[in-house]
């Protein structure tokens, strides 16, 4: 994984974005046209499948662009595992960040825990709700949380790589000639706007009442989380690591804490709110400081230094 010196590769970036946004938005606007909603749960349930499928659009666009537009080949996309240490680090620090997010949400009065899972039971079909009551809320909470730490990241990292091969594997190095601040901010905004149709028209994340404000907060969240991911991706030269980090994050975002805090205001608290922006920004700041301490000699390419 390397970044070309000098000018930004506008042709390669334009081709990648046209394919990524074209495919994704075509699918999502088709779902919106038939009345699909994602609040409070996907309706109809099958709508999850096409949305999950378009998570692979950035990877497909990156591979096509690298092969036929920029002629760099897949080897330029950072498809390497690298050290095991950052994988463990991400698997530990991201759940802690989510605990901090929901702890602050509770402390600030932006949401209260539903330890009996009554909100989930009401939202589910009767037979599923009865099964939760039969097993007991405490057992369900413990089992789902354990799964979000162990099993879910392995599954979610596959879809995560579907995105990250494009965002961090292809687009980030292409934007780096702009310098870190501009590249990071621009990538975060692009990544956030990629989700715009579902947020604005299908209630994704924020419901149907405040879609524009929701999109603004979501973009801010992805800019912050992008900084965290970008630092680790560049340091370890691995888009596979980026896919893992993305998968760990999604494992918590769709894990038990958002379910326990079912009635949280999505603009202010929980995984999509301003509290999350603050916590994730703090996490990102720590990574920026860590990278500065590990900075290579002046003039060396930060994308080509050995990973640790």
Domain-embedded: residue 5: no
The confidence score (pLDDT) of residue 187 equals: 98
The confidence score (pLDDT) of residue 107 equals: 97
d(CA 247, CA 90): 10
Domain-embedded: residue 232: yes
Structural domain including 134 reads 10-293
Mean pLDDT of all residues belonging to the chain: 93
Domain-embedded: residue 4: no
Share of the chain above pLDDT 70, in %: 94
d(CA 163, CA 57): 7
pTM of the model: 0.92
Model pLDDT for residues 201-212, shown as the tens digit of each residue: 999 999 999 999
Q: Identify whether the C-beta of residue 22 lies closer than 8 Å to the C-beta of residue 58.
A: no
Model pLDDT for residues 225-256, shown as the tens digit of each residue: 999 999 999 999 999 999 999 999 999 999 99
| Local structure of residue 116 (DSSP, 8 states) | T
Share of the chain above pLDDT 90, in %: 84
In which band, very low, low, confident or very high, does the pLDDT at 294 lie, cut at 50, 70 and 90?
confident
The confidence score (pLDDT) of residue 306 equals: 38
Model pLDDT for residues 152-173, shown as the tens digit of each residue: 999 999 999 999 999 999 999 9
Q: Identify whether the C-beta of residue 269 lies closer than 8 Å to the C-beta of residue 261.
A: yes
Model pLDDT for residues 68-96, shown as the tens digit of each residue: 999 999 999 999 999 999 999 999 999 99
Model pLDDT for residues 210-226, shown as the tens digit of each residue: 999 999 999 999 999 99
Query: How many domains are there within the chain?
Result: 1
Domain-embedded: residue 3: no
d(CA 157, CA 251): 9
Q: How many CB atoms lie within 10 A of CB 203?
A: 21
Q: How far is CA 180 from CA 122, 129, 175, 214, 288, in A?
A: 46, 48, 8, 26, 10
Alpha helices for the chain (secondary structure H): 10-33, 48-53, 57-64, 85-107, 118-123, 126-135, 137-150, 152-166, 172-175, 180-194, 196-201, 211-236, 239-253, 256-260, 274-293
| Contacts with 254 (C-beta within 8 Å, 6 or more apart), sequence order | 152
Domain-embedded: residue 201: yes
d(CA 223, CA 220): 5
Domain-embedded: residue 301: no
Model pLDDT for residues 119-142, shown as the tens digit of each residue: 888 878 888 888 888 899 999 999
């Amino acid at each position: 994984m390397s970044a070309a010196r000098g000018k930004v590769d506008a042709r390669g970036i334009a081709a990648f974005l046209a394919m990524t946004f074209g495919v994704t938005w075509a699918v999502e606007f088709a779902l919106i046209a038939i009345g699909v909603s994602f609040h409070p749960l996907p309706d109809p349930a099958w709508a999850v499948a096409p949305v999950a499928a378009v998570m692979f659009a950035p990877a497909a666009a990156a591979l096509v662009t690298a092969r036929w537009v920029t002629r760099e080949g897949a080897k330029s996309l950072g498809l390497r595992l690298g050290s095991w240490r950052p994988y463990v680090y991400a698997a530990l620090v991201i759940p802690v960040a989510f605990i901090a997010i929901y702890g602050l949400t509770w402390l600030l009065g932006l949401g209260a825990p539903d330890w009996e899972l009554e909100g989930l039971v009401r939202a589910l079909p009767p037979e599923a709700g009865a099964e939760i009551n039969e097993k007991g809320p405490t057992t369900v909470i413990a089992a789902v949380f354990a799964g979000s730490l162990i099993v879910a990241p392995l599954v979610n990292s596959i879809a995560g790589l579907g995105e990250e091969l494009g965002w961090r594997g292809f687009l980030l190095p292409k934007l780096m000639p702009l310098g870190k601040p501009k590249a990071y901010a621009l990538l975060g905004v692009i990544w956030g706007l990629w989700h715009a149709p579902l947020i604005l028209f299908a209630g994704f994340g924020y419901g149907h009442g405040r879609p524009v404000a929701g999109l603004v907060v979501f973009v801010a969240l992805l800019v912050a989380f992008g900084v965290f991911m970008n630092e680790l991706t560049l340091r370890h030269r691995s888009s596979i690591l980026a896919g893992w980090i993305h998968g760990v994050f999604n494992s918590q975002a769709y894990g038990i804490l958002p379910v326990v805090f079912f009635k949280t205001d999505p603009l202010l608290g929980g995984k999509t709110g301003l509290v999350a922006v603050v916590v994730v920004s703090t996490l990102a700041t720590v990574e920026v400081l860590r990278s500065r301490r590990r900075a290579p000699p002046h003039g060396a390419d930060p994308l080509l230094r050995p990973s640790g």
